[in-house]
Amino acid sequence: MIISGCLSETDGTVFRIHTKAEGFMDADIPLELVFHLPVNYPSCLPGISVNSERLTRAQCVTVKEKLLEQAESLMSEPMVHELVLWIQQNLRHILNQPETGSGNEKCTFSTSTTMDDGLWITLLHLDHMRAKTKYVKTVEKWASDLRLTGRLMFMGKIILILLQGDRNNLKEYLILQKTSKVDVDSSGKKCKEKMISVLFETKVQTEHKRFLAFEVKEYSALDELQKEFETAGLKKLFSEFVLALVK
């Protein structure tokens, strides 16, 4: 089992654990488990994502649901180690359930069906992209895997990511963004994104547009960018957060 982690005073701790568990026909199934422990953990549940090249999307969703159910029974006490042991012992039984056997799409960081908070929207600001082509493709893949819609927006030196979707999936996106080597440093070495900020996060309101896809757009002038936000019903968001980046 391989464990890696990072710590932030405001975002809590993220553990990325690579392990194996017994699946069908006694075969070992490789699992990547990501636990996002909020600052007030273990008084509240961790964010959990599940990934495996050997499982379908539906199976990953079910494994995640079962882990969250088990986590609820361990509230108020440290649980990451217990949850890893539990899934190693119970994965085969979970996979044997009829509802997890359909679908052949390989699992990526899956959508969550455990907490239906409705649609949420978040606005992220990136300081720079050195390896732009690779970075953009990675962001598009993450958005697709997590069923997030919205925009990756470039205007001059301003880089914004506007995401809309399930709140847990937005949290998983942030985990990926902060823990993956998505860019390169000044010497050309792969590095993690250390200069990202969350400008805004809220539940989607009635005046907000529902994005149907995730698109990459470049704007030549500030008024074009402003129009994008106004069309999406986010005029106030633009005024309060985006204009401050221009000054």
Residue written as token pair 């996060």: 201
Q: Within a domain: residue 108? A: no
Task: Say if residue 81 is in the same domain as residue 130.
Answer: no
Measuring CA to CA, which residue among 216, 212, 222, 217 is closest to residue 244? 222
The whole-number pLDDT of residue 106 equals 45
Q: Residue 192's pLDDT is what?
A: 55
Chunk the chain into consecutive blocks of 10 residues (it has 247) and report each block's average pLDDT, rounded to whole numbers.
51 80 81 85 84 86 90 87 92 75 42 50 82 84 89 90 90 82 60 68 81 90 92 86 80
The rounded distance, in Å, linking the Cα atoms of 84 and 182 is 27
The domain tally of the chain equals 2
Rg of the chain, C-alpha, whole Å: 19
The pLDDT score that the predictor gives to residue 193 is 52
The domain that contains 216 carries what CATH number?
3.30.70.100
Please report the pLDDT score of residue 116 as a whole number. 37
Query: d(Cα 79, Cα 70) in Å, to the nearest integer?
Result: 9
Biggest alpha carbon distance in the chain?
62
Same domain for 206 and 137: yes
Residue type (1 letter), 247: K
pLDDT at 83: 93
Q: What is the distance between the alpha carbons of residues 151 and 136, in angstroms, rounded to a whole number?
A: 11
Asked whether residue 110 is assigned to any structural domain, the reply reads: no
CB 120 within 8 A of CB 166: yes
Cβ atoms of 234 and 204 within 8 Å: the answer is no
Tell me, yes or no, whether 73 and 164 share the same domain.
no
Residue 74 sits in the same domain as residue 126: no
DSSP string covering 172-210, please?
A: HHHHHHHHS--EE-TTS-EE---SEEEEEEEEPPTTS--
Say whether both 148 and 212 belong to one domain: yes
Query: Rounded to 10 degrees, what is the CA torsion of 191, 52, 65, 115?
Result: 40
Which residue, of 96, 129, 151, is where some domain finishes?
A: 96
Domain that holds residue 176: 119-245
Residue with tokens 């968001």: 237
Same domain, 178 and 70: no
Q: Is residue 113 part of a domain?
A: no
